[in-house]
Each structure stands twice: as C-alpha cells, then as structure tokens.
Amino acid sequence: MRFDVVVIGGGLAGYAAAIRLLEAGKSCALLSMGQSALHFSSGSLDFLNYLPDGRPVADFREGLAELAELSPGHPYALIGIEESARLALEAEEAFRRWETPLSGSLAQGSHFRLSPIGKLLPTWLSSRDALVAEKGPDGGPHWPYRSVSLVNVEGFVDFYPEIIASKLAAYGLKVQERSFTTPDLEIARGNPSEFRSVNIARVLDQKDNFNLLKDFLRALAPSSDLLLMPACVALNDGELLPKLSANLGKPVKLVPTLAPSLLGARLNRRLARVFLSKGGVLMPKDEALGFSFAEKGSGPARISALFTQNHEDMPLAATHYVLATGGFFSQGLKAEPTRIREAVFDLDLAENPGERAQWTRESVFQRQPYLSFGVKTDSNLDGYWRGAPIANLKVAGTLLGGFDPVRLGCGGGVALVSAFRAARAILSGEGAA
Amino acid sequence: MNPLLKTNFEACTKCAICTEYCPVSEAWPPFLGPKQSGPDGERQRLKDASFYDEVLKYCTNCKRCEVACPSSVRVGDVIALAREKYARGSFSPRNAILSHTDFVGSLATMAAPLVNFGANLKIVKFFLEKVLKIPAWRTFPSYSQGTFRNWFFDKGPSQKAFARRLSFFHGCFINYNNPSLGRDAVRLINALGLGVDLLESERCCGVPLVSSGFFKDAAANAAVNDQSIQKALLGAERVVVASSTCCMTLRDEYPDVLKLNNENWRKKVDLLPRYIYRLLEEGLSLKFKPTPMTVAYHTACHMEKLGWSAYSIELLKLIPELKIVLLPSSCCGVAGTYGFKLENSQISQKIGAPLFAEIAKSGADLVVTECETCKLQIEMSASVPCENPLTVLARALDDGSGGDASP
C-alpha cells in the first residue's frame, strides 16, 4: 500500500505531524502499537521548565537561549531556538484550527497547573478543563477564586482530596470537601480495581448521572467561587464542562489523577478523531517489523518499504517516513543486555550510552542518564543509519536524543516542535539529498 | 506449549487502558473489564481456580482490549482461555442452537420460507423469549432458499476456464442466509480473471461455538477446516474469506485459542478485499461504473484486530462518484450471537448506541462492513441497509454484463 507519508507512532508527535501533513494535502497512514503515553499524562504540555543546571526558566525565550548554550544537543537547539519558538506558535495555532482549544501560550509565558498530589507545576498549554493559575507578580500563583468546593467521587482512590485541600489552603484558598456518588457509581464501585478515572467518567458522562452531578454542584455553587473535581468526567466532550460552568454560573475545573489520566486520554482521542476526519488512514495495533532500502543510487540512502505485523508481505511504501515511537516507556527504544537499540530501524544514537551500569542511577530522584538517550538527527530531523543520514526518514518526539524530558519539563514542547519541524521539512523538501 | 505463554500476559502493567476501551464494561460496569478478567485475574486463577468468575462470559471477544493495549498483551485470548479452562456453565439448549450454525442452517435452508415466516410470528417469538431466552424484539436473520454451495455447484458460472484459482471460504452466513454476497464474491474474482473453488468440506469457523463455550465442537470444526484448507491450497493460490470474523478465527483463533497449529497455511488465508487489492497491485484491473451514493464505512471489531480496513476503503475509493464516510471505530454491540442472548441484549444495544448515532449523523445511504452480524445489528438498530464491501464493489462493476444493480 502506498502513501505520501507513513508515520510510525500514535502519540502526540505522531498525530501532530500526521495531521499537519494531511492538511497540506499529503496522503498519510499512521501506525500505532496501542494507545499512547498520553493516557499517562496530565494533558498539560510543558515547553521548558528548567535548564540542565536545575535553574527554573522564568521566560521561555531567555530560557531557550540559555538552553542552546548549555545543551547544544537539545532538539530545540538543533532545530534552532528562533525556529523552535516559531514552531511552538505554529502548534498553538494548529490546536485552534483543530478545534482542540488549550489554554496558555508562549506569548503569555508559563502558567501553573496542579499535579495529582497538589503540587504547582509550571506548564505551557493545558486543557481548558484543568485547574490552572496565572503567574502572579511575585512568581506565585494568582487565583481568581477564594472559596473552593472540592468534590471527590466516593470510593475513588486514585485521587487525594485531603492533600489537594491542604495545598490549596496553603495558597490562601478556602476549601470545603465534599463527596459525590450516584446509584450507578455504586454499582461500578462493586468492581473496585476498575474504579479508575476514565471508567468513572464513562458512568458520569451518561445523561442521568451527569444530571445528578449537575444538581449536586448546583447546590454548592452559591457558596463557592470554584467547583473542583478529580478528572473523571467529560471523557469525550471538551464542551461539556464549559457548558456546565456557564449553566451553574461558577467554573467547574478538574485536577488530573493517577493514570489512566482522563485529560491526556481525551487529547489522544481528539487527535485521533481529527486525523481520521482529515482522511488519515489509521493502522491500529500494528508494529513495524522490518524495512528495505531503495536501490543504492548516488545520493543518501532512502527507505522504500516498511514491513509490519499485520500487513506481512504487503509492505507500506511511502515517499517519506516519520518515526515518532517514543522512548523506553513506549518501546521506541529498547534496552538490550549490552546496548540501547532504536526499535524499528536500529538508528544511530545521539550519544554513546556507555556501559549498562552507567544507564541508571541508584536513587530515583537523581538524574537518570537513560532518560536522555535517543536517536541522532540533524536540524532537519533526518534519522542517521550507520553514520549517514537517511534521506526520507524524519524523527520526532521523545525518541529524539539529547534531552531529559522529565528533568527539563519539555516533553510536550519537544514533541510538538519536532513534529511540526518534521512536517515542514517534508513539505519543503528539506533534508539530506 | 502452554497457550497462555503466547498471550504475553506477564507484560501487563495494570494500566487499565484496556478497560477504558472495553465496550462491555462501559455499557455494564459489573463486568470486571479486560484487565481484571484477563491478566490480573489470571495471576489469581493460576494460584487457585476458585478465583474464576462466571462474569467472564459477558466478554464479547471483540478484542478491542488487545488493540488498545500498549504492552501487546493478548487480553482477549487470556479471557477465552480462562473460559475454556474454568467455566462450569450447565448445558444451554439456546446456546447450542445459536452456536451450531451448520446444523441449524442446514435444517432451516431446507424449509426457508416456513422458517422465515415462523420465526417472525409473535407467538413463536414469545416462545423463543420465554423458553429459549432469545429476545423477541430482535430481527432474526432470514434463511435463504437453498444454500450458496448448492447454487455454486448447480447454477453458478463455470469456473473451468480459469487457470489461476482462489479457494473461497464462504462461512455460514453466506451459505445459509446471504448467498448473494457469495455470488458477488464469485463475480468479482471472475472479473479479475481468476476462478473460484470451494473447500471440499467446510465447517463453521467455530467462533460462535467458542463464544458459547463449546470449545470441543469448535476444535472439531477447526480440524476439518484445517484438512480442507491444506488440500485446497494444492490447487488454489489462496484461501479467501469474505467475513472478517471467519478470517480472524481461521488465522488467529485457531492457534491462539483452539491450539491448532496453522503455521503452514496461516498467511495463505486472506480476507478477499485484501487479496483483490494485492491482485490490483500486481497489475490486474477492475472497472467500475459511477455510483453516486454515500456509504459509511464501519470498522467491525475483528476488522480492527486484523488491521486491514484500509484495503477495503482503498478499493471502495476506486468507484467513481462514491462518497465514503469513515465512522469512528466502535462496537455495534451484537458480537456474533452475544446480542441474541436475552441476558445480554440490553447491554448489546447500549454498546451499539454511539455507533447508531454516528450512522444517523453520517447521512449515509448504506453502511459498509465486513462482518455479517454487524450487518444484522445495524440494519435492525440504525434502520440503514448494510452490506459487505464486496457487494458494493460487485454492484458497481462495469463488466459489460449490465450487472445486478438492484439491491
């Protein structure tokens, strides 16, 4: 089967690149090995929170400039800091075009989001349903609320209302805790190990249950400036809570929970839907198993076909390939006994990982070297194979080497910036030729 | 080898993404969901069989858990294997009737008008619901007068002239209920310049038997089909299948659930749209006439599992003026014989509701899907006709014969 582009990987970077290419009129297939790491994410996307030396980034543009000096192998630095900032704006614009509204922007600087245990973390883009705070003049959170009703679902254990309440109180908010249930939720709770955020949402999103929730919140609305819940409602519909807020006259906001995380899952579902609506061909639960190079001409190597689990001897052929398979967690990288291997093409790595003993550090809170392992590229994001670039393979997302998305707080930003960079390189014919 | 080892169940990280995509636990939360029914429960069952929960029979075997799993655990297989090993349900005449499609189909096609008339009488439906627990409000599949096999051998076009041959696994639904789909398949294959054989002896692939817990009967069917397929491949270049579920069963359920080693022919059994696509890539051609209508493509669960929707969609795109709407992939709820069991029927309709809404929104004249029971469910619940893509392709064929353009 032939396409203009085959994207390998159905996470943030893969979908973003694929949708951008579809918009430009390219035919595009996307291979996904299963649901992506977005299901484990808060749904907020970080651009750059810390520098490699640990200092927090106060201003994105200044931060980028310092990053390029301290860490020239970081994807932002490779792509170029001006270009990275421009691509980030392109991503913001794209989400608006894709009717997937997110709050925050590079121009406004970072805002705060709340972690599942109530810690305030800086971030770039958040779901409109997430509780966020703008950065006040003192660098701390600026809340437009004073009194908060924190409503947990009875028996939901992936959320810690006491901790959240005490944290919010420490930020000067007045918090009253409530808990909510419905007869249907009581039935679902009979299966406690599956009483998780997205499964609760599937019950709460049903009309009768949602109306019960609405009535419950309505009773709290007069005494609250904010109605706050764990993210276990509105799984498919990003308009549900804005409408409810308008109806109640008070904002209803969510705090992300432990995985599976609804706001991340919802972003994934939304991207998949946009991809399909623009004519993308989804290859669900398929895995790239092998590939072939085009016959050797004078220029750099080109991939001519990709062999997959489901398609067996009928390869997927494309003019361009985008590899966005993620890091170790998503199995884009594999740790073998004595080496790290990129899973599909065995691409060259950005840095030599050294001996196995050096891949990890003993304490989980120390810098973990393996988190910055990834593949080598140039500024066009061409992948390298045995020392030379492949002309028609771009790499995007966490699979890229040279950065630690956890420590720097930049995973979402790198995914989007590199996805748009890869798409642009394909559309403008840039790359090894 | 213990088939459980092939399910990769130890790779489960308990992330619960499978449950997020399970249509049964969405419609009916008391179902434990794939994680708990599958790998989580298996860890307990391995220690003590009394951990087996009869609620596992509510699994529809749709495999959407396997498609969603980021760790490539074959969750559905873990559940099916557990049902085989531990379930102690008593014999149900209803399940026997629903699942022994060859036996019931052979009888029913002999007296099709009477059966079709009778099955839709209120009094009969009342009896079916009260005694057999088959919901009376369901539309039952009608039986054809005479089987597809009889048509093929008695009245079908001669296949002698063709050098290249495909062996067609027609399945029960074509044979007993919808022979016209079989005729469409023959017409398409002949239009490509290839001839059609049938298997010397074909039994039901076994999937309804597996769903109802008749694992031994399913394995016996598999053994007959195994022999027939091996024999067929001596003369035919492929065994081709019209139904996504039969195809997945022959290729994957035989080795994974029924413990039949099909390595020597697995990759030579293909879904017919995929094989047609391959023939076109080889350089053969089909000519289609303009067909100005809108069709909505529904990805049946087992089609999602096979991962081959793209072939059907690409073939449909060859028909001039045909507008194709892709429905978001979701389960129609019927899951073979599942929705025909009274205790499941409400769950079944609840599962399908989002799909029916999408169909209504699409404004399509026709829904297209490779699964025969999706067809029954969609026609009953969404009130839009539903056909296999092979039928749409055959109706649009411009082979000079004028064709059978009527639905």
Per-residue pLDDT reduced to its tens digit, A332-378:
999 999 999 999 999 999 999 999 999 999 998 899 999 999 999 99
Q: Where in the sequence of chain B do the CATH 3.40.50 domains occur?
A: 293-396
A364 CB-near residues (< 8 Å, 6+ apart): none
Tokens of A172: 């000067």
Asked whether residue A433 is assigned to any structural domain, the reply reads no
Higher pLDDT, B127 or A9: A9
Residue ending a domain, choose from A236, A255, A274: A255
Q: What is the mean predicted confidence (pLDDT) over B34-42?
A: 94
Size of interface A-B (CB pairs under 8 A): 109
Q: Look at A19-33, A183-197, B349-363 and tell me which has the smallest mean pLDDT.
A: A183-197
Mean pLDDT, all residues of chain A: 95
What CA–CA distance (Å, rounded) separates A57 from A43? 21
Is residue A395 within 8 A of residue A381, CB to CB? The reply is: yes
Q: How confident is the model at residue B406 (pLDDT cuts 50, 70, 90)?
A: very low
> How high is the pLDDT of residue B265?
98
Q: What is the mean predicted confidence (pLDDT) over A128-133?
A: 96
- Can you point out the beta strands (E) in A317-429? 317-323, 333-335, 340-342, 382-385, 388-395
Tokens of A227: 């109605």
> How high is the pLDDT of residue B103?
82
Residue ending a domain, choose from A204, A235, A255: A255
Per-residue pLDDT at B204 exceeds 60: yes
Asked whether residue A295 is assigned to any structural domain, the reply reads yes
Higher pLDDT, B183 or A194: B183
Residue ending a domain, choose from A210, A237, A255: A255
For residue B386, how many other CB atoms are within 10 A of its CB? 25
B380 CB-near residues (< 8 Å, 6+ apart): B138, B139
Q: What is the mean predicted confidence (pLDDT) over B147-171?
A: 95
Q: Where in the sequence of chain B do the CATH 1.10.1060.10 domains occur?
A: 3-86
Q: How confident is the model at residue A254 (pLDDT cuts 50, 70, 90)?
A: very high
- Output DSSP code: residue A285: T
* Pair (A323, A277) in one structural domain: yes
Is residue A433 within 8 A of residue A27, CB to CB? The reply is: no
What CA–CA distance (Å, rounded) separates A18 from A16? 5
- Asked whether the beta carbons of residue B68 and residue A1 sit closer than 8 angstroms, the reply is no
Per-residue pLDDT at B401 exceeds 70: no
Q: Look at A306-320, A378-392, B111-125 and tell me which has the smallest mean pLDDT.
A: B111-125
* Pair (A247, A388) in one structural domain: no
The whole domain housing A235 covers: 131-255
From the list A193, A198, A314, which residue is nearest B36 (CB)? A193
- Residue B29 Rama label (left phi>0; alpha psi -120 to 50; beta): alpha
* Pair (A251, A286) in one structural domain: no
Q: Spell A393-427 as b/e; 16+ CB within 10 A means b.
A: bbbbbbbbbbbbbebbbbbbbbbbbbbbbbbbbbb
* Pair (A231, A292) in one structural domain: no
> How high is the pLDDT of residue B407?
38
Asked whether residue A401 is assigned to any structural domain, the reply reads yes
Per-residue pLDDT at A322 exceeds 70: yes
Asked whether residue A124 is assigned to any structural domain, the reply reads no
From the list A193, A310, A313, which residue is nearest B308 (CB)? A310
- Asked whether the beta carbons of residue B307 and residue A281 sit closer than 8 angstroms, the reply is no
Asked whether residue A115 is assigned to any structural domain, the reply reads no
What CA–CA distance (Å, rounded) separates A276 from B298? 13
* Pair (A251, A269) in one structural domain: no
Gyration radius of chain B's alpha carbons: 21
> How high is the pLDDT of residue B22?
94
Mean pLDDT, all residues of chain B: 92
Within an 8 Å CB–CB cutoff, is residue A311 touching chain B? Answer: yes
> How high is the pLDDT of residue A433?
52
Tokens of A202: 């599937």
Is residue B164 within 8 A of residue B136, CB to CB? The reply is: no
Here the CATH number for the domain that contains residue A410 is 3.50.50.60
* Pair (A276, A317) in one structural domain: yes
Is the ipTM reported for this complex over the cut 0.95? no
* Pair (A345, A410) in one structural domain: yes
What CA–CA distance (Å, rounded) separates B101 from B288? 35
> Around B355, how many Cα atoms within 13 Å sit in the side-chain half-sphere?
32
Helical spans, DSSP H, in B11-69: 17-20, 23-27, 34-35, 41-47, 64-68
For domain B293-396, the CATH class is: alpha beta
* Pair (A247, A159) in one structural domain: yes
Per-residue pLDDT at B187 exceeds 50: yes
What CA–CA distance (Å, rounded) separates B157 from B198? 13
Q: How many domains does chain A have?
A: 2
Higher pLDDT, A269 or B89: A269
Which of A6, A22, A35, A313 to probe the B interface (max B CBs under 10 A)?
A: A35
Kindly state which CATH superfamily the domain B3-86 is placed in.
Alpha-helical ferredoxin (1.10.1060.10)
Q: A159-185, pLDDT tens digit by residue?
A: 999 999 999 999 999 999 999 999 999
* Pair (A276, A417) in one structural domain: yes
Here the CATH number for the domain that contains residue A216 is 3.40.50
Nearest in space to A22 (alpha carbons), one of A304, A397, A281: A281
- Residue in chain A closest to B306 (alpha carbons) equals A310
> How high is the pLDDT of residue B405?
43
* Pair (A248, A270) in one structural domain: no
pTM for this entry: 0.94
- Can you point out the beta strands (E) in B344-392? 366-368, 386-387
- Residue in chain B closest to A11 (alpha carbons) equals B70
Asked whether residue A90 is assigned to any structural domain, the reply reads yes
Q: What is the mean predicted confidence (pLDDT) over B266-290?
A: 97
Put simply, the chain B residues between 282 and 311 with a CB less than 8 A from any chain A CB are 304-308, 310-311
Residue A66 phi, psi (nearest 5): -70, -35
Q: How confident is the model at residue A432 (pLDDT cuts 50, 70, 90)?
A: low
Distance to chain B for A219, nearest Cα, Å: 28
> Around B203, how many Cα atoms within 13 Å sit in the side-chain half-sphere?
21
> How high is the pLDDT of residue B337?
84
Q: How confident is the model at residue A431 (pLDDT cuts 50, 70, 90)?
A: low
Q: What is the mean predicted confidence (pLDDT) over A290-299?
A: 88
